[in-house]
Structure 1
Amino acid sequence: MTTTTAPTRTDRALATVERVGNRLPDPFLLFLGLFLLVGVISTVLSLIGTSVTIPGADEETAVRGLFTGEGLTWLTVNLGANFIGFPPLVTVVTILLAVTVAERTGLLAAAIRASLGSAPRWLLPYAVGFVGVNASVMADAAFIVVPPLAAMVFKAAGRHPIAGLVGGFAAVGAGYSTSMLVTSLDALFAGITNAVTAGLPDPGATVTPISNLWFNIASSVVLALVAGLVIDKLVEPRLVRDGAPTDMVAEEDDASLEGGAQADDEVAAALRAAPTDLSPDLAPDERRGLRVAGLVFVALAIVVLVAVLPGGSPWRNEDGAFLPESPLLDSTVFIVFVLFLGPALAYGFVSGSLRQAADVPKVMGLGIKDMSAFIVLAFMLGQFIALFNWTNVGSALAVAGADGLESIGLTGYPAIIGFILLASVLNLFIVSGSSMWTLMGAVFVPLFALLGYEPGFVQAAFRVGDSATQVITPMNPYIWIFLVMLKRYEPEAGLGTVISRMLPFVVPFWISWVAVLTIFYVTGADVGPGVGIRI
């Protein structure tokens, strides 16, 4: 693509961020260095007897050092467990097996061509924004599913696929704490908030999974519109000006299909062509495959509903409900896996892109090949995050930051803004929303309750800071998965490339989300059923 437009000031600023970020070491070496740095800092803090008091805890939490007898023993015992127990591996590898079959058999491409082939091009950025912002109902699986689908939608409509890829990831990550639907995160946050308010003299309204529902609905609509505008007006024009590639780098899939037997050349060719064949017209076998895949999807969905809806279902919790915790919520990965794999197999065999059962594991192997770099990186990520948690350095950072804001003595709405800012900064280091809310909620829910604020409103404010900045922090493990996706278009892309692509979303999302909260505050509207601003 030929560049005909001079770069803007924003382009130059983002290009600088990209160059600086790309000069960082290889991610594996980067996290090895961070691992050693945290090890040294934790050891020094441990030797001088550093400890922090987490509000609500019976005892002080001591910082533990890596380079001590206890720390070195922990490392030698848990090296394998830190890797295998790295949470994203469970989600990524499992779902990836099913999503790869859906992609390589051509199901996703055919579904997109059938449903969006005639959709107006102007609407796509906003549709991607809406789906991404609300995709947290799929939990972490959204980080894997939405971006590549968004890229395919853009490609099918003749728009820049990287814009869809970037927009999909940004909408999922920067808007992760909100959704029009009640999610497991709502239940988790509510449980933590109620645990904090239990001892307060006036705890306000009881916080439930729907206590932020009105705020979440309003936020999801606004953020979807903002995401669409950023994709349409900032991200895609910059990609065009930079002449970013619009096609994936060619892959040697034939070799990946070898699984102890000679690969079928015809199957390999079909699988290789399927994801990129996005012409608007569907062949008869593709239409038949889509119909059968749709029937299989409906049948599987009915089976899931029949299994979980009866009162005595084993997928309910001990109280007979699904919230705040239940086997159903813990089965999200399984449900997504089945709902992708079943229709994908049906489509593959009906359309002819799969010829025999032995082709299925070969196709799954293609997905593992694509993610091999991340799996290697996951070894170091797992060690670093496990060390960060075990040493209690993360807890010390959060408590120190919270105490600093509390000591300033801010009152009124500026204190809420300061609280959101602190959450946004801490989110760069602690991307687990439940962990950070446990620490921050223990300090700020009682503090703001004394100032007359409902705990449910404070929880809504926390959501803003908990999400907006997580798409630019290396601490987010899914940012490295996104980098693997981006490298399929831009092999030279690095962490700086990712951050420069994400920055245009962070500030608009943060400002828009704070604006929504401010409107609720000024008007006094309830943030959820029965939950106002003031106690």
Structure 2
Amino acid sequence: MSTKVAKQNKKGFFNKFLDVIEVVGNKLPHPVTLFVLFSLLVIAISAIAAKLGVSVVFDRINIATGETEIITVEAVSLLTKTGVRDIFSKAVTNFTSFAPLGTVLVAMLGVGVAEGTGLVQAALRKLVLSTPKRLITAVVVFAGIMSNVASDAGYVVLVPLGALIFLSFKRHPLAGLAAAFAGVSGGFSANLIFGTIDALLGGLSQAAAQMYSPGYAVDIAANWYFMAASTVIITIIGTIVTEKIVEPRLGEYKGDAEVLIDKVDANETKGLIWALISLVAFIAVIVALVAPANGILRSDAGEILKNSAFMGGLVPIIALAFLVPGVAYGIAAKTITSDKDLAGFMGKAMSSMGGYLVLAFVAAQFVSYFAWSNLGTILAVKGADFLQATNMTGLPMLIGFIFVAGFINLFIGSASAKWAIMAPIFIPMFMRLGYTPEFTQLAYRIGDSTTNIISPLMSYFAVIVAFAQKYDKKTGIGTLISVMVPYSLLFLLGWTLLFIAWFLLRIPIGPDAFIRM
């Protein structure tokens, strides 16, 4: 008894803090109700802000043209005749244009076939039987980080897969979900190779830099060295947080969900072999469509990352990357006997998304109202102005910039939208102080990534809540935020320390990219 009391007394401030977040958060209404209340709050605040004449003036880069525009943004009331009309007339388009909706549903068509045929379960059992237990957490976090090359697909594929993998190892599925989510979203900017985010942010940084130095060019690989090192650091931190903080706090899983870990039988082995063969063949087809200079899936200008059908079609490509091996597995393992089975698996996958669709509808309305009101943009510019007003210099100013970017990220989820607003303010300012645009962009990316996982405004947050409720119906926004806060704080701390070390040692941040001008 005394030992138990001693353990309780040793709980520490941080765990007590997380408990408070979870308790308070879960005492809030259901996420659907919460988003409805948030929507009403935005409507009310927009009316007050508009009445008070709240506005901001700033320079912004036009993403389409690369030109700098002087923009005046005023708070817009949603309680005007136009606002009320939009609330009613655009409710359906808000829902159908909600970014995560199509991504989730299209990807689930392929994932549903892979699950329905038994491919996912057989592959997981094979993974459980062949992977050392001590490495599985690091593998999940690392895979999450690397998935950002495929844009948003990691949210749909890897996050639920992380939960299944942990469940296969008799570990808490929410810990696996958290580890994958931390890698996918918290480590969003880190990677060993280039992705769409490098091209997109680099273009905005270049346009902002040319305001100060005409002709300045920012390369897509500008942050490569630092982000490659960050991949290792984030994987290590994510693994430690999962195993030392998140899993012990979650305790033993007492839910009904389970994944069988029996030996893979002969039919399943045959199915896995054919699934692998079909996946390799599918990848070969995609490479053939992308690799040639005039590849069909390249852009008209011959680019792979920018304006290409390959990047624009990553979600259906990933859906097919599950569908094709799923069908091959099903035929070889005899779990598919006709096309009716295939349609049935897809239908079952869609039917399991009912709760998510309800949540997505109300979340889409809230996100749209927030955008219409201009409140997010106003907060972003005010945050930037605050940092400028502090008159900090050197390393403290750069660290302050990271924290401001992280704070603004809680209100505006899109990395490019934030950077289009912030780059024209900070890049010329830091260039005048002797820091390269590439280094300023790097600092921004740290703040932009680390708070994704604790922001209910992040477009996929509702998706993750829905995935978590599959294993614990009582999971709410408070539960998810309390689970993810340790990742957010320690990613921010670890990444900032790496940033400080890089700064002090003056290591190049990419090929021909440096800290100082």
TM over 0.5: yes
Query: What's 1:329 paired with?
Result: 311
Report whether the alignment pairs 1:199 with 2:211: yes
- Superposed CA deviations along residues 406-447 of structure 1, whole A, max 9, x for unmatched, are 111111111111111111111111111111111111211111
Amino acid at match of 1:30: L
Q: Do the aligned partners of residues 446 and 246 (structure 1) sit closer, same or farther apart at CA in structure 2, a change above 3 Å counting? A: same
Any idea what SS the aligned residue of 1:117 has?
Answer: helix
Task: State the alpha-carbon separation in 2 of the partners of residues 19 and 111 from structure 1.
Answer: 37
Which residue of 250, 254, 261 corresponds with 1:239? 250
- Superposed CA deviations along residues 434-490 of structure 1, whole A, max 9, x for unmatched, are 111111112111111111110000111011110111111111232222222222221
1:73 shift after superposition = 3.0
Report whether the alignment pairs 1:394 with 2:376: yes
Query: What's 1:278 paired with?
Result: 261
Any idea what SS the aligned residue of 1:25 has?
Answer: coil
**Retained in 1: the 8 A contact 2:290–2:304?**
no
Amino acid at match of 2:53: G
Task: State the alpha-carbon separation in 2 of the partners of residues 162 and 27 from structure 1.
Answer: 18
Task: State the alpha-carbon separation in 1 of the partners of residues 18 and 400 from structure 2.
Answer: 27
Give the alignment of 1:53-132 within 5 angstroms. Answer: 53-55=57-59, 56-132=68-144
**Retained in 1: the 8 A contact 2:133–2:169?**
yes
Query: What's 2:177 paired with?
Result: 165
Q: Could you tell which deviates more after superposition, 32-41 or 312-321?
A: 312-321
Task: State the alpha-carbon separation in 2 of the partners of residues 394 and 289 from structure 1.
Answer: 50
Report whether the alignment pairs 1:20 with 2:24: yes
**Retained in 1: the 8 A contact 2:171–2:253?**
no
- Superposed CA deviations along residues 112-156 of structure 1, whole A, max 9, x for unmatched, are 322441321111111112111221112111012112222232233
Task: State the alpha-carbon separation in 2 of the partners of residues 533 and 59 from structure 1.
Answer: 30
Query: What's 2:65 paired with?
Result: none
Any idea what SS the aligned residue of 2:212 has?
Answer: coil
Report whether the alignment pairs 1:367 with 2:322: no
Task: State the alpha-carbon separation in 1 of the partners of residues 505 and 290 from structure 2.
Answer: 40
Report whether the alignment pairs 1:208 with 2:219: yes
Q: Do the aligned partners of residues 118 and 310 (structure 1) sit closer, same or farther apart at CA in structure 2, a change above 3 Å counting? A: closer
Any idea what SS the aligned residue of 2:191 has?
Answer: coil
Report whether the alignment pairs 1:226 with 2:237: yes
Task: State the alpha-carbon separation in 1 of the partners of residues 32 and 362 from structure 2.
Answer: 6
Query: What's 2:188 paired with?
Result: 176
Task: State the alpha-carbon separation in 1 of the partners of residues 304 and 369 from structure 2.
Answer: 33
Query: What's 1:256 paired with?
Result: none
**Retained in 2: the 8 A contact 1:117–1:156?**
no
Give the alignment of 1:416-427 within 5 angstroms. Answer: 416-427=398-409
- In percent, how many aligned pairs have the same letter? 35
Q: CA RMSD in A?
A: 1.9
Amino acid at match of 1:283: D
1:202 shift after superposition = 6.8
Report whether the alignment pairs 1:136 with 2:148: yes
Which residue of 30, 53, 56 corresponds with 1:52? 56
1:401 shift after superposition = 0.9
**Retained in 1: the 8 A contact 2:402–2:447?**
yes
1:43 shift after superposition = 2.1
Task: State the alpha-carbon separation in 2 of the partners of residues 22 and 507 from structure 1.
Answer: 21
1:518 shift after superposition = 1.1
Query: What's 2:500 paired with?
Result: 518
**Retained in 1: the 8 A contact 2:56–2:72?**
yes
Q: Do the aligned partners of residues 13 and 396 (structure 1) sit closer, same or farther apart at CA in structure 2, a change above 3 Å counting? A: closer
Structure 2's unaligned 5+ residue stretches are 60-67
Q: Could you tell which deviates more after superposition, 383-392 or 53-62?
A: 53-62
1:349 shift after superposition = 2.2
Any idea what SS the aligned residue of 1:328 has?
Answer: helix
1:203 shift after superposition = 7.2
Normalised TM-score (structure 1)? 0.90
Task: State the alpha-carbon separation in 2 of the partners of residues 432 and 408 from structure 1.
Answer: 26
Q: Do the aligned partners of residues 360 and 529 (structure 1) sit closer, same or farther apart at CA in structure 2, a change above 3 Å counting? A: same
Task: State the alpha-carbon separation in 2 of the partners of residues 87 and 506 from structure 1.
Answer: 23
Task: State the alpha-carbon separation in 2 of the partners of residues 12 and 35 from structure 1.
Answer: 31
Amino acid at match of 2:333: S
Normalised TM-score (structure 2)? 0.93
1:4 shift after superposition = 7.8
Amino acid at match of 2:242: I
Report whether the alignment pairs 1:299 with 2:281: yes
Any idea what SS the aligned residue of 1:58 has?
Answer: strand
Count of residue pairs brought into register by the alignment = 503
Amino acid at match of 1:513: W
Task: State the alpha-carbon separation in 1 of the partners of residues 306 and 499 from structure 2.
Answer: 25
